[in-house]
Structure 1
């Protein structure tokens, strides 16, 4: 055991003596350089349904039946709720009866008008031959005018009755509430037996066929992001490209950020409203100051690099930005282009410790 300890001590001594002989300029290093990259920004997006609505009552009536509940799937046009329609049917029947009665009355009056018009013409001819008095002619013309006026009144009444019938038919159609599109029911606002009034909420739902991703962009990035290519990264790892974009031209007063919507293609599997996604914005290519990723040192919340400046090795705090797929990291501040950074920071640390011992 003593021999093993002696051998280990000798190895450590040899390693330290070798490390003491390291020259800072001999450590692996490279320059901070400018390379051309397309700017990238990543944002958190939220999936929402394009078609989501709450259907409201258009009549005053009692709920008779509700055919779907929350989380039920429904097809477009299917009956989801029905009101009691007895009162409206009664109004419709009464309106139709009134219409038929006045139409029958109009036929009688029109027949009398035909007779009155013929009589007025006959009396007028006789009057021209001086065979009847002026008073007889005036009476015939008055009878004709009165009958014509009655025809006009009945025509107006019939139009009003027809409007009542049509209104009752429309109200009757409102007693059946149908799904405006295929989707999922999300909220029920009323129960069977309750009275509804016009405008009262009944059922809420959304469509799973037409979805979009909404994300927020800080105002300082807006110009570049609006000109960028936008991709959506789904939870499954699938990338969606060439999506229709809608910009909302009003900033959030609290965050001063802008909302952008990206329409998703239909029939995407396993994507639902409320899920989160990533939105990646690819801007134009431009020079970026970068260093190798392996040169970066993280100490708690501080990023830094070992820099060889004037033959002296120093630790320099830096602020970094994008990390690129080819192994380079953007440097926003802390070093300049052309400065030498150590690509093996562990060896640089050993060197500095030796210098201080």
Structure 2
């Protein structure tokens, strides 16, 4: 029994002292030919996204100026109309009666003036009487014009070319002075109405450009108006941004507006240097001995400089490091690099 145990221990010792197998040689990684670009630091404007609404530049709420029943409403919602088209007719008995009374008084005054002029020529009247009647005639003519203007208010006409955006009444309804009846919107020019933080007011001037996204399209708009008063409740100010002609937008459409603020220092790299590995963003940089070093980064906003797309890097890189552009699919950590001119 003891001899068998001793033999087993001896075999184990001999096996441990045996020469291990040689480790196989691993071939070195091939040299990858790459293009590189430096990580650039730049002063760029801080962009803040706010929401806005597309509005027509020309819009009007048409209201009644006289009281009466609406007899005609020859328009439909969304209908295109031309300037001076009749949109609403109101039957105003009061305005019609005032015009009839004014015209009657005018006719009486004219007859009296003609009679007194004939009597003056015969010496049976006085010049003072004729002058008084002439003054009364002028007053009667003015009264008639005023009554005609009041009656004209019974017809509401389009102040400009546009479309009917809202109908607030129907034929047969009673209209009262000041009551809104229709809303008309122009179709030629549009603008974005938005509110921005009041901290941006000092850096904004008329003519500034804003990036605007709506309906899947992006365009640049010019700042047209900026309010001088901040809303104390929201600490924001209202701005109006012109929409360039040719953009297909609709009234009431939702928009996103990128508002430039004070400049901040940021690191920028070409967009082609950043690649995705699952959910991680990564960049290869040129390390010591011209070897590839893998860095995980966090990117920010996309930028464009001189027509070249750039990406803001929030973390993972340092200024003046060299990043690999469009890294080859098989590029690995530690692989030697040959930098192409």
- Look up the match of 1:3: none
In the alignment, is residue 337 of structure 1 matched against residue 315 of structure 2?
no
Q: Which residue of 2 aligns with 1:105?
A: 112
C-alpha separation in 1, matches of 2:82 and 2:128: 54
Aligned residue number for residue 132 of structure 1: none
Shift of 1:204: 1.1
Equivalent residues in 2 for 1:134-149, closer than 5 Å: 147-149=126-128
1:165 Cα deviation from its structure 2 partner: 1.0
Q: Who is 1:179 aligned against?
A: 158
Q: State the 1:111 CA deviation.
A: 3.7
Distance 1:290 1:345 in 2: 21
- In structure 2, distance between residues paired with 1:183 and 1:309: 65
Partner of 1:250 in structure 2?
228
Distance 1:338 1:227, change over 3 A: farther
The answer on whether the counterparts of 1:55 and 1:202 sit within 8 Å (CA) in structure 2 is yes
Residue equivalent to 1:34 = 40
Mapped partners of 2:44, 2:151: distance in 1:
61
* SS class of match (2:301): strand
Alignment partner of 2:133: what SS?
helix
1:92 aligns with 2:118: no
**1:19-60 Cα shifts (integer Å, max 9, x gaps):** 9x87xxx99896752277986969665432111111111112
What TM-score results when the alignment is normalised by the length of structure 2?
A: 0.65
Q: CA offsets, 1:277-325, max 9 Å, x none? A: 5667899xx9963234465577999877677889997866656333447
Unaligned runs of 5+ in 2: 1-24, 335-341
- 1:158 is aligned, of 124, 129, 137, to 137
Pairs within 5 Å for 1:197-276: 197-215=176-194, 218=197, 219-220=199-200, 223=203, 229=209, 235=215, 245-250=223-228, 252-253=230-231, 254=234, 256=236, 259-265=239-245, 268=246, 270-276=248-254
TM-superposed CA distance for 1:271, in Å, is 3.1
Q: Going by fraction, where is strand more abundant, 1 or 2?
A: 2
- Of 190, 196, 204, which aligns to 2:175? 196
Match of 1:67, SS state, is coil
User: Hey, which of these two has a bigger chunk of helix by percent?
Assistant: 1
The 1-side partners of 2:113 and 2:107 are apart by 10
Conservation of the 8 A alpha-carbon contact between 2:53 and 2:255:
yes
Cα RMSD over matched residues?
4.9
Indicate how the Cα distance of structure 1 residues 258 and 182 shifts in structure 2: closer, same or farther if over 3 A, else same. closer
Q: Across the two proteins, how many residue pairs are aligned to each other?
A: 300
Could you list the per-position Cα deviations for residues 67-115 of structure 1 after superposition, in whole angstroms to 9, with x for gaps in the alignment? Answer: 1132222222211111114543333222212211122122333344454
Look up the SS of the partner of 1:62 in the other structure: strand
Stretches of structure 1 that go unaligned for 5 or more consecutive residues are 1-16, 118-143, 352-357
Q: Structure 1 residue 195: deviation in Å?
A: 2.6
Question: What is the CA-CA distance between 1:188 and the residue it aligns to?
Answer: 1.8
SS of 1:246 mapped into structure 2? strand
SS of the residue aligned with 2:242? strand
Do residues 58 (structure 1) and 65 (structure 2) align?
yes
